[in-house]
Amino acid sequence: DAGITQSPRHKVTETGTPVTLRCHQTENHRYMYWYRQDPGHGLRLIHYSYGVKDTDKGEVSDGYSVSRSKTEDFLLTLESATSSQTSVYFCAISVGAGDTQYFGPGTRLTVL
């Protein structure tokens, strides 16, 4: 398995609180991605990064922000969590945009 870790693995929080999820890679891949997975919707891209400080929006970016200050770390922040953001969040990495993506173990977030 690719060297990808996500933290925390599980989190329960309350509506209106800020939440930050971390993705860490040891592969030195240029591209990093954040997805959310929900029943009936499959995987949906939230944001992605193509280098340090270079990010772009995905399909469902509203309510989320990201930062990448180092190659190995990609942070996803929910500024004010809502119940609709209850989901499983996956980080992925790839060498290039069109290349194979390797996925982290996921973070299960519950917003009460």
Partner 1 sequence: AQSVSQHNHHVILSEAASLELGCNYSYGGTVNLFWYVQYPGQHLQLLLKYFSGDPLVKGIKGFEAEFIKSKFSFNLRKPSVQWSDTAEYFCAVNAPGNTPLVFGKGTRLSVIA
Q: Which is nearer to partner 1, 63 or 106 (CB)?
A: 106
Any idea which residue has 């996956």 for tokens? 90
Sign (positive or negative) of CA dihedral 76, 89, 5, 33: negative
**With binding defined as CB under 8 A, does residue 52 bind partner 1?**
no
- Spatial distance between the Cα atoms of 69 and 62, rounded to a whole number of angstroms: 21
Which one of 10-18, 36-44, 61-69, 70-78 is the stretch in contact with partner 1 (CB under 8 A)?
Answer: 36-44
Site for partner 1 in 70-109 (CB under 8 A): 90, 92, 97-106
Angstrom distances, CA of residue 56 to CA of 5, 13, 108: 22, 26, 23
- Spatial distance between the Cα atoms of 57 and 91, rounded to a whole number of angstroms: 14
Q: Which is nearer to partner 1, 17 or 41 (CB)?
A: 41
Q: How far is the CB of 14 from partner 1 (least distance, A)?
A: 26
Which amino acid is present at 7?
Answer: S
**With binding defined as CB under 8 A, does residue 53 bind partner 1?**
no
Residues within the interface to partner 1 (CB under 8 A): 31, 33, 40-43, 45, 48, 50, 58, 90, 92, 97-106
